Structure 1
Amino acid sequence: MTLPNLSGISAVVDVETRSISAENPTGERGQGGRRTEGTGAHAARDLGIGWKVSPSIEIAAGETVTLADITGSGAITHIWLTTHSDNWRRLILRAHWDGDEAPAIETPVGDFFCSGWGRFAQVNSLPISVNPNGGFNSYWEMPFRSHAELTIENTHDESVVVYFQVDYWLGAVADGSAYLHAQWRRSNPLPAETVHTLLDGVSGPGHYVGTYLAWGVNSTGWWGEGEVKFYLDDDEEFPTICGTGTEDYFGGAWNFDLGEDRGGYTEFSTPYLGLPQIIRPDGQYQSQQRFGMYRFHLPDPIRFRSNLRVDVQALGWRSGGRYLPLQDDIASTAFFYSTATSTTRPATPTHDTMEIC
């Protein structure tokens, strides 16, 4: 397999590499490892400066802290972050581009990294990698032209500790580069005979590049007959892109089920799509199953000129071979690029709306 991110890796380009962490909070040249205070100061008391004095930050209850504040043009290329799994749905990650007060990215930390259920599962995709035990990595390209700001808000009533590193380069951004956006929505439960909306009212031009769903099943039986639909530009009642089923959209088939003799539902994780997490509290096809699924449209971005709306149905089966609309717990994170620094977005997540229950 030829991985697209290796293309052109040998080229020498006129940019400057920088990195921000608790050890170098400004990313300035030659300023790493010079901290005299921090969460590691006690452990380093016999060694002194330069010996992991500040490996992490503590975020107080209700506090929003800035992870990265970057002036100039360039692109964030990698984010590594970890915190206790209890915090994955208590922290909100935001990104602001070029001085816009409205965030382009606003999601729970766990969902941004395909980990919405607060339990570790290995993720082996190209843009997102999650490694033991809760090592979150993002390789989404995040260009900016004058300023970039990444923040984290702690919605919990206790302080939390976060370890992180933000890698980026400074230099000229190519013409036509768009801004990364990520939006989180949750239907809990989904109202009867409705669809779960992933995006609505997003203006173009731009292109849709990824979906993560944390899907909680509240009924017995198979739950994934629903179609994923993309309403492009002038589409109104009917979409241009209409899938054939939820598991089909995420690259699986036949309920993700290998059969009872081979383990039933089966996890998988590939560069572009996967079902890395299945939580089975009650057994196959019983209620309270929990699933985490992703699809990244990297070789096949969905391009739109004027606007985009995306939704998914929740459908099971009832007697007589009839579809059964479900009222499941569906949390979605939609990733897309837009020429705008901010666009229509849902209500800000809160501690109550993010809570795993």
Structure 2
Amino acid sequence: MNRIIICLVSLFIASSVYSQSGFNGLDVNMGNLYRLSNAETRSISPENFTGEKGKGGMARLEDKDIPNKANAAHVARDLGQGWKVNPFIIIKPGETFTLAEIDGSGAIQHMWMTPTGNWKFSIIRIYWDDEKEPSVECPVGDFFAMGWNVYAPLSSQAICVNPGSAFNCYWQMPFRKKCKITMENINDQDPMRLYYQIDYTLTVVPDDAAYFHAQYRRSNPNMSSIHTIIDGIKGEGHYVGTYIGWGVRNNRWWGEGEIKFFMDGDKEFPTICGTGAEDYFCGSYNFDREGQYNVFCTPYAGFHQVIRPDGAYKSQQRFGMYRWHILDPIRFKKELKVTIQDLGWRHGHRYLPQKSDIISVAYWYQAEPHAKFPKLPGWEELEVN
């Protein structure tokens, strides 16, 4: 009984301190959605490039000849200002457009966008607090788990991809001084049209808040039979997600390989070692029911895409999988490396080291500064053929 009373008193004190300290609006969930906050909600889109209060929908018809000032002036000509005059932007070949530049402290809470054209040729980058090297650098399709440049519905807690090509991201991304988000069109021929909205809050950021990172990698072909998802992470943080697009070049089941997390001084052998690709992505037995792959989406893991070679000009099978470590983040203090084996089956019930085409995006939080990313390949290496 005394222990129960002590626990209740501790809970009361903790909740009182929390209440007195104020609610900054960052850690929002169904359990505290009722709480008031001093945070200020803002949103950036082509109808309000700065996100300023009371500045949305101000595009003017007379600016129709100025790039990205009134792109829909013709269809809004009968209605005028305030009636969807500039709902999208055009990014020319070779051009980089700043989608958002936010001063102050706060957090990105949601991003929505509908990029057109080749998703491999549109590069999203995010910079925190005036850093020169991006903390996020990724082809936009891969960032939203669409690495094969083919739409597939995806419904999860962190990322949703909805009809017809609506990309949504719900990763919380705090910043203390500044946030800058850009999109580069590396297509050497075609412009891209982009509708987008970036929803964020201006608020106090806790001292222990880490910065969001995401990095793209590809092994094509994977000559070592080991694909490196991430390497060279230095500092303290936690790993929160993996997207993999797997292109298979052989028959039989292709996902026997183990995922391995080498952290904080691990050398030959990792601290965390999985038992197979489908197991890591929270499935089992080849994602197979009655001889067929079964796609699925859950809040934290999914096998959401199967591209079968069933067309006149299609080659081989390709797959998409995601695993979000939201309730089970992988903590590291000094360094982290993550790999996955490229392993299938061969004659005589033996493992087969494969040479697959493997795309991956690693998602993690860490204290800055972060290690410089490997140079992102050009469109020739990014292209899916």
Smaller-chain TM-score bracket:
over 0.9
Aligned: 1:74 with 2:106: yes
Change (3 A) 1:315 1:94: same
Question: Which structure's relative contact order is higher, taking Cα pairs within 8 Å and 6+ residues apart?
Answer: 1
Aligned: 1:38 with 2:88: no
Is the 2:225–2:343 contact (alpha carbons within 8 Å) kept by the matching residues of 1? no
| Distance of 2:269 and 2:310 partners within structure 1 | 37
Where 2:289 maps in the other structure, the secondary structure is: coil
Report % sequence identity. 53
- Aligned-pair RMSD on alpha carbons? 1.4
Where 2:316 maps in the other structure, the secondary structure is: coil
Larger displacement relative to structure 2 (341-350 or 126-135) = 341-350
Aligned to 1:130: 161
| Distance of 1:287 and 1:39 partners within structure 2 | 39
Matches within 5 A, 1:170-189: 170-189=202-221
Is the 1:108–1:349 contact (alpha carbons within 8 Å) kept by the matching residues of 2? no
Where 1:6 maps in the other structure, the secondary structure is: coil
Where 1:111 maps in the other structure, the secondary structure is: helix
Aligned to 1:271: 299
1:297 pairs with 320, 325, 332, which one? 325
Gapped regions of structure 1 (runs ≥ 5): none
| 1:245-299, Cα deviation, whole Å (9 max, x unpaired) | 0010001111111023xxx00100000000110001159xx97110010000000
| Distance of 1:323 and 1:256 partners within structure 2 | 18
Where 1:35 maps in the other structure, the secondary structure is: coil
Where 2:85 maps in the other structure, the secondary structure is: coil
2:380 pairs with 328, 346, 352, which one? 352
| 1:28-73, Cα deviation, whole Å (9 max, x unpaired) | 0100000114221111011100000000000000001100000000
Aligned to 2:94: 62
Where 1:29 maps in the other structure, the secondary structure is: coil
Is the 2:157–2:170 contact (alpha carbons within 8 Å) kept by the matching residues of 1? yes
1:160 pairs with 192, 201, 211, which one? 192
Is the 2:114–2:166 contact (alpha carbons within 8 Å) kept by the matching residues of 1? yes
| 1:215-250, Cα deviation, whole Å (9 max, x unpaired) | 110111110000000001010110000000001000
Matches within 5 A, 1:1-357: 5-36=29-60, 37-84=69-116, 86-157=117-188, 158-191=190-223, 193-260=224-291, 264-282=292-310, 288-357=316-385
Is the 2:245–2:320 contact (alpha carbons within 8 Å) kept by the matching residues of 1? yes
Gapped regions of structure 2 (runs ≥ 5): 1-27, 61-68
Instruction: Give, in angstroms, the shift of residue 341 of structure 1.
Output: 4.5
Is the 2:281–2:321 contact (alpha carbons within 8 Å) kept by the matching residues of 1? yes
| Distance of 1:90 and 1:113 partners within structure 2 | 14
| Distance of 1:88 and 1:82 partners within structure 2 | 10
Larger Rg: 2
Is the 1:225–1:245 contact (alpha carbons within 8 Å) kept by the matching residues of 2? yes
| 1:91-126, Cα deviation, whole Å (9 max, x unpaired) | 000000000010000001001111111121111110
| 1:159-207, Cα deviation, whole Å (9 max, x unpaired) | 110000000011110120000000000001101x431001111012000
Q: Which amino acid aligns with 1:301?
A: P
Where 2:29 maps in the other structure, the secondary structure is: helix
Where 2:120 maps in the other structure, the secondary structure is: coil
Where 2:205 maps in the other structure, the secondary structure is: coil
Change (3 A) 1:115 1:123: same
What is the TM-score with the length of structure 1 in the denominator? 0.95
What is the TM-score with the length of structure 2 in the denominator? 0.88
